[in-house]
Structure 1
Amino acid sequence: MSTELAPVLSAHWDAERSWTLETYLANGGYEGLRAALAQPAADVVQTVKDSGLRGRGGAGFPTGMKWGFLPAPDGGPRYLVVNADESEPGTCKDIPLMLATPQTLVEGVAITSYAIGCHHAFIYVRGEVLHVYRRLLKAVEEAYAAGFLGKDVLGSGFDLDVTVHAGAGAYICGEETALLDSLEGLRGQPRLKPPFPAVAGLYARPTVVNNVESVASVPQIVARGASWFTSMGTERSAGHGLFSLSGHVTRPGQYEAPLGITLRELLDMAGGVREGHELKFWTPGGSSTPIFTAEHLDVPLDYESVAAAGSMLGTRALQIFDETTSVVRAVTRWTEFYAHESCGKCTPCREGTYWLKQVLRRLEAGQGTQGDIDTLLDTCDNILGRAFCALGDGATSCITSAVQYFREEFDAGMHTPASELFPPARSALFDYPPRTRAAALVGAGAGGH
């Protein structure tokens, strides 16, 4: 396993005005689209299949295979929808990608649309990230003006329109069918499957839903070839990926490396856990994946190895926590998020996350009662596999794994508040001086402004 980084998507993030079409073209932009348009669409699909690219949004489903699930053309429209609704705690790779080099995504959209026979693609982005939304709009505008989108793209006879849609900020809309409902103007709630989006997706037409990083990886695969992509990563988890390190790490940020790299190697590059502290637990794929501990430092970060170790690679959101952190407090915060973001459509998730939150709050406050831990695990068991979508399953993952590795902290919640065992000030990353009431009022814009 190579410990070298593999800057592909992030190669030009530090270029001057990296988000402009001019800079993108100066660094080889749209060569992939030109190569794609010069060959049959079926060959583009086959290239992506041969590359072994797997969905970078969490599930890791083979991207080319997903494209191949579309039924044969019937004369009606088919759609590409890019899921840019990044919102899980700890997950922060797609937003910086769209902020730094949005044209990478736009080119990927054009190639993917050509490959699947789509003439109208949608990018569904979180409305709260207004700076990203504006940057995408500008990137699409520039691509239209340069002939990379619109009628007769680059003289190929292929037409493509792209719509950038701002969502209203619901985590559930990251689930592909809830996203489609939201895009249609409906309340964002998961649909019953089957039918799957490939058969009846947006406006009941065949639809491919792909993550930002998945689509943005396509241009380089087409331009450089499938063998270039498979030269990185592992046999079943090919290619490169963005690993987002956050929390108690010396140099947090995005580290683009071949799949199969370990957290130990990434931490070496990131300067290790913050000075004077040691690793306690971490998430390999965001807050919806079972947590790992220091004993998992050398688990290869690929889909198969992480699964074999009892978790999921997910979105490669590596949240790092040192020994000053209360596991109970961290899990409680995550659970509060999932309870708040539950769409309420199914009983296991709607009621289950509510009660998980209540029990965890008791334990965090040191007011747990006998049987609370068993109640937590029993409630998780009643949610897992029984919820309408993966939100319910994800909400249980951090709890069951935390109890597995740190049960003694949950037992302590029967008599001692987490704030006494693990004072929050010790785990804080930033040390702000106490604020006076007058300073707080000024900061809030008081005084007639």
Structure 2
Amino acid sequence: MLGFRLIAFLIFYASVYCENFNEELLIKDLGHGYTAFHFNFAATTSESVFHSKHYNILPKPIIQILKKYDVDEFHLSISRGIWDERWGSNFISVSPSGAELWACVDQSWFKLTHALSGLFCASLNRLSTNEHFASPIHSYKPSGVPKFSRVSKEVRYSQLPGEALCSENLTPWTKYLPCKAFSGLGSLLRSTSLFKSNYNTMTIGVRRVCLDLECHEIGLELMETLTVVFDRSLLFAKRTSPWSIRSILGSEFKGFCDAANTSRVFILASYEDMNIPLDNKLKVDCLDNRVLAAYSTKDLSTQFISFPFKTSGKKSSPEHSPLVSATKHITGSGSVRGGVKVFLTSRADFNLKIVYFDLIPWYTQVFFSSLKIYGLDPKTQNKTEITPKFHVANYLPTLELVEKGGEAVSVCRGMKESCTRQASVGPPRFPGRCPRDDT
């Protein structure tokens, strides 16, 4: 009996030892009187958790979704507002306004969207139908361990622009943190203050990662991030008024999260000077000029949250703009004069290969004969027309012509990775969407 208990204890200890949780808070002054907070929570565990009924770090509902629906990887984001390119590069990949979901799943896309809809109190179940998702080939690829035998070959992508981020989405998202909002950096998340921001985006994603350098052992990584940007002119009398973490987030730090291996706060460098707290600073690599100071939450004093930061609120410099940016505008109105303009801007002094992906609503009819592509030289302002190359990928019926027995051609283009359908028996009223965009 003693030997059995010892073996059981060793198995339990090994399963706990393989689990890891780290949390970070990045603070940066963006110029123009804007301040950004980026929360990053990462949990990893061995894949042996699939064969267990008890979970320590990773939330049980997420593991159940991966097991039941055979999902290899998924990424969900819900955003409100638009990231201004004057703020520079985002902390993570910029997500479109509304809900965005992409996953590596074969047959259970319908069930996955409904399950996530229930977990995060969002209308993600509307993304389950054929009209609302596409299967990109060149743009969205699995970010987990490559060449893994169980990874699905099917990547499905969908958007729901009208889905706004609110406290109903943030509450369940917070509950999947090991310490929830009771301690650690999660205790700084107060919905009444967070939604006073000009921009906020919440993400959660699961993927497979290597647990050792040789990648002999595969594990699961759960990543949760929250990015909020505040306009201090709306919170204080002036943009130059001193501000603190407490005055903006409106909450107190409730101590170190015992489940965390590391819990740190980073103050990132900006183009203007900013005073920083000097007590209990961690050593920062001198080669990394992006970080002004780093602190461990285990050693933070009670005065840190109330420390008054002072910045001048100057306008940001063009040199802090992102390397590549994209904007899209609607022009005109109706099916005759209506159109879409997309601007891709590269600030690099070297050549870049860019894949542009755009999910066109299924009810929108696109006329490829009107497509025009121009290249603009920023120095001379000379505009050069570029002739696009079209490739017929496959033949698929439109949603309207399926029952009529008609046939439609699916046309894809290299620069804009999306498809539309042109009926061979006349233009359909509802051209549908292209499920595959092979080129």
Higher Cα radius of gyration: 2
Q: Larger strand proportion, structure 1 or 2?
A: 2
Instruction: Give the TM interval when normalised to the shorter protein.
Output: under 0.3
What TM-score comes out, normalization by structure 1 length?
Answer: 0.25
What TM-score comes out, normalization by structure 2 length?
Answer: 0.25
